[in-house]
């Protein structure tokens, strides 16, 4: 070695030694490990929370388990829970991808859930919030970026998101299945939700959650699911309060209607329609069910009544006082009509039907700027607002019920969009403005502050059963006689009898359950 290179080599060697010494003294963050009843799961540490992804809560519903009640998942020794499971089979939706994030891989083997927890320690006693995704019972996944549970988990809750069977694989009837299992299930997707809640009851304590303090929450079809679980005798005792965001008053299907749709599905698959056998139906590749189109073949966006999980339509069960006597938050957004086309609704046709019912629609909406705005408001109130108020009024006789109206638009959309679209509140509730494609590039510090305040109400409700975060305006429960609605705009503001005149007219005169139907 030359005299010139000697000192350089010594310095290089000293730096390498110092580097390895520094590495050896840097604490290594161990992967979080939790033991469930099925076996150990190993997650990942993400900021202040531990995340466990793709945990099976039931056996794969494939082969002979297609169109069967969910069965227990097999046990395992140690399982890496670091990647989301595939979404359930569904059509590709560019609109959904743009709004909530890409759906990713799909499979019939999709009954998995995900857990975010700030303290993966047994008996930490944290409130549990279970998110049920929307998508008209034909699309969606618990792994979409908009549903990330990190923000709420960082504030001291255990967040669970999940997948459930969709479309004809999740909600299906056919004479061949009736023959094989008389009186069997039709709402397999709802049975999946019940199985997931049973998993939560049995396992969430190991993740730091309190199995005696579980809040179910969901939007659109997820909101319908929340109400269905309140009404289902099979879900009794599995949760303790609920949040229903934008449920809709589109009637459920009878089993006869579901069977007719199933026959049309069998025809579309070239199986002979009504004569298709059980073996033929179970032998169809799962992906084929995602390619079906046509209203006669689809039950979306409604459930089916008449099986064990949903004995009667949701509204009927609430009217009969058969909903679980548990605290409920329910409400809708200012521009729910944004989803009209996806629901098969024609706003202009709906206004015409309301007029036929002798309703002076224009008198109900004196602030409407034109016919388009009138139709937009009429759809919002007839399909969402009136149904939500009717449910709230009925349920308030059994348990405390809080109503809301979400009208805050992100700053860059104010003056441009006519109101908050269907699903537009989700990123504010879950604190995912920075992860939701629709808002990722446009949200401002002011938007983030509004999201923190809204999320605080939801989190307080999950903790105590009352939406009363410290330092925020009081949100009073609503009853028929004392109607209260919290409007979430820039500032939360409690309003008395908000929109009640027209909502009550729609409830009492139009009978939305029979008038608001899907347009062929």
Question: What does the DSSP assignment read for 42-100?
Answer: E-EEETTEEEEEEEESS----GGGTTS---PPPP-SEEE--SPPPBPS----HHHHHHH
Of the chain, the end-to-end C-alpha distance in Å amounts to 88
Residue 228 near residue 314, CB atoms below 8 Å: yes
Question: How many alpha carbons lie under 13 Å from residue 382 in its C-beta half-sphere?
Answer: 34
Say what the pLDDT of residue 358 is.
57
Say what the pLDDT of residue 3 is.
45
Say what the pLDDT of residue 357 is.
61
417 labelled catalytic: no
Say what the pLDDT of residue 5 is.
53
Say what the pLDDT of residue 520 is.
34
- In the numeric block, the tokens 């997948």 are attached to 163
Report if pTM > 0.85.
yes
Catalytic, out of 143, 220, 298, 302: 220
Query: How many domains in the chain?
Result: 1
Residue 337 near residue 376, CB atoms below 8 Å: yes
Catalytic, out of 264, 278, 336, 487: 336
235 in a structural domain: yes
Say what the pLDDT of residue 514 is.
52
13 in a structural domain: no
Say what the pLDDT of residue 359 is.
67
- Rounded CA-CA distance 405/417 in Å is 17
26 in a structural domain: no
Residue 134 near residue 219, CB atoms below 8 Å: yes
**DSSP-derived pairing of the beta strands 492-496 and 484-488:** antiparallel
CATH number at residue 76: 3.40.50.1820
Residue 418's domain comprises 33-515
Q: What pLDDT digit, counting tens, does each position of 263-318 carry?
A: 999 999 999 999 999 999 999 999 999 999 888 999 999 999 999 999 999 999 99
121 labelled catalytic: no
253 labelled catalytic: no
22 in a structural domain: no
Beta bridge partners of 219: 245
Say what the pLDDT of residue 331 is.
98
281 in a structural domain: yes
17 in a structural domain: no
460 in a structural domain: yes
Q: Which two tokens stand for residue 431?
A: 């604190």
Q: Which two tokens stand for residue 109?
A: 């083997």
CB contact burial 200-221 (16+ within 10 A = b; e otherwise): bbebbbbbbbbbebbbbbbbbb
Q: How far is CA 316 from CA 254, 310, 323, 405, 421, in A?
A: 13, 11, 10, 24, 28
Beta bridge partners of 35: 40
Say what the pLDDT of residue 93 is.
82
Distance of CA 73 to the CA centre of its chain: 23
Residue ranges of the chain with pLDDT lower than 50? 1-4, 17-19, 21-22, 25-26, 512-513, 515-520
19 in a structural domain: no
Main-chain dihedrals φ then ψ at residue 180, nearest 5 degrees: -75, -35
Catalytic, out of 133, 174, 240, 422: 422
């Amino acid at each position: 070695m030359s005299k010139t290179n000697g000192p350089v080599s010594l310095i290089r060697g000293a730096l390498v030694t110092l580097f390895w010494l520094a590495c050896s003294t840097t604490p290594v963050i161990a992967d979080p490990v939790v033991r469930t009843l099925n076996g150990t799961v190993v997650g990942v540490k993400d900021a202040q929370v531990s995340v466990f992804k793709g945990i099976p809560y039931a056996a794969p519903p494939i082969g002979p388990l297609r169109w069967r009640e969910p069965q227990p998942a097999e046990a395992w020794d140690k399982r890496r829970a670091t990647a989301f499971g595939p979404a359930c089979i569904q059509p590709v939706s560019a609109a959904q991808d743009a709004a909530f994030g890409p759906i990713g891989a799909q499979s019939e083997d999709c009954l998995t859930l995900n857990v975010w927890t700030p303290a993966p320690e047994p008996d930490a006693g944290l409130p549990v919030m279970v998110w049920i995704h929307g998508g008209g019972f034909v699309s969606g996944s618990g792994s979409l970026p908009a549903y990330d549970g990190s923000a709420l988990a960082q504030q001291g809750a255990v967040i669970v998101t999940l997948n459930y069977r969709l479309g004809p694989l999740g909600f299906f009837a056919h004479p061949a299945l009736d023959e094989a299992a008389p009186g069997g299930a039709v709402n397999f997707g709802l049975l999946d939700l019940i199985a997931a809640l049973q998993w939560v009851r049995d396992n969430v304590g190991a993740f730091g959650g309190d199995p005696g303090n579980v809040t179910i929450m969901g939007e659109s079809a997820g909101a319908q699911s929340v109400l269905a679980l309140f009404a289902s005798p099979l879900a009794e005792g599995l949760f303790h309060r609920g949040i229903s965001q934008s449920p809709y008053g589109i009637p459920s299907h009878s089993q006869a209607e579901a069977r007719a749709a199933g026959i049309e599905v069998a025809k579309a698959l070239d199986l002979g329609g009504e004569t298709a056998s059980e073996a033929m139906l179970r032998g169809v590749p799962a992906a084929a069910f995602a390619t079906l189109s046509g209203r006669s073949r689809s039950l979306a966006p409604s459930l089916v009544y008449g099986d064990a999980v949903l004995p009667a339509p949701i509204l009927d069960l609430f009217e009969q006082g058969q909903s679980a006597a548990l605290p409920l938050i329910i409400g809708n957004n200012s521009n729910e009509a944004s989803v009209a086309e996806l629901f098969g609704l024609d706003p202009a046709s709906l206004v015409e039907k309301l007029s036929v019912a002798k309703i002076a629609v224009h008198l109900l909406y004196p602030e409407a700027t034109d016919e388009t705005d009138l139709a937009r408001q009429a759809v919002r109130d007839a399909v969402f607002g009136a149904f939500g108020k009717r449910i709230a009024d009925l349920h308030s006789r059994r348990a405390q019920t809080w109503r809301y109206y979400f009208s805050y638009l992100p700053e860059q959309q104010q003056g441009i969009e006519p109101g908050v679209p269907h699903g537009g509140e989700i990123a504010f509730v879950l604190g995912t403005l920075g992860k939701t494609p629709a808002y990722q590039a446009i949200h401002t510090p002011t938007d983030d502050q509004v999201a923190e305040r809204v999320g605080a109400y939801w989190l307080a409700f999950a903790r105590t059963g009352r939406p009363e975060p410290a330092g925020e305006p009081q949100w009073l429960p609503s009853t028929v006689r004392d109607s209260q609605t919290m409007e979430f705009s820039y500032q939360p503001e409690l309003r008395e009898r908000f929109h009640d005149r027209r909502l009550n007219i729609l409830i009492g005169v139009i009978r939305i359950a029979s008038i608001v139907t899907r347009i062929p």
